[in-house]
Amino acid sequence: AQKVTQAQTEISVVEKEDVTLDCVYETRDTTYYLFWYKQPPSGELVFLIRRNSFDEQNEISGRYSWNFQKSTSSFNFTITASQVVDSAVYFCALRPASGGSYIPTFGRGTSLIVHP
């Protein structure tokens, strides 16, 4: 069974603050993929990143960075110098890399509110 926990239900910050969204996962699979999605008020989930369980390198993309730590089963997401447009619900997701199922398990999401 797979489980993704996003313990932070809602985070409120002021523009230009850095913010970290936590994601902890549980899986019995030895290989798997981790994802982050953004869901703005319009409702459409937007893919942000995919990480293979073999690759523990952290990644940076502009103001976004991701910290994958297999030892603690965490895949945290940091937004540097947050902006109002970052306000959205962010979902972490997990799916096995083998076994033929391509279905991700999503966390409950963290609502990020960035105030001007």
- The residue (of 46 and 81) whose beta carbon lies closer to another protein is 46
Q: Would you count residue 79 as binding another protein (CB under 8 A)?
A: no
Task: Give least dist CB 67 to another protein, A.
Answer: 20
Residue with tokens 């990020």: 112
Q: Is residue 5 at the binding interface for another protein, with CB under 8 A as the rule?
A: no
Q: Does 93 participate in binding another protein (rule CB under 8 A)?
A: yes
Answer for which of 1, 43, 57, 62 binds another protein (CB under 8 A) is 43
Q: Rounded to the nearest whole angstrom, what is the least distance from the CB of residue 96 to another protein in the complex?
A: 11
For the CB of residue 87, give the shortest distance to another protein in the complex, in Å: 17
Do 92 and 106 meet the contact criterion of CB atoms below 8 Å apart? yes
Q: Interface with another protein by CB under 8 A: which residues?
A: 4, 9, 33, 35, 37, 42-47, 50, 91, 93, 95, 101-104, 106-109
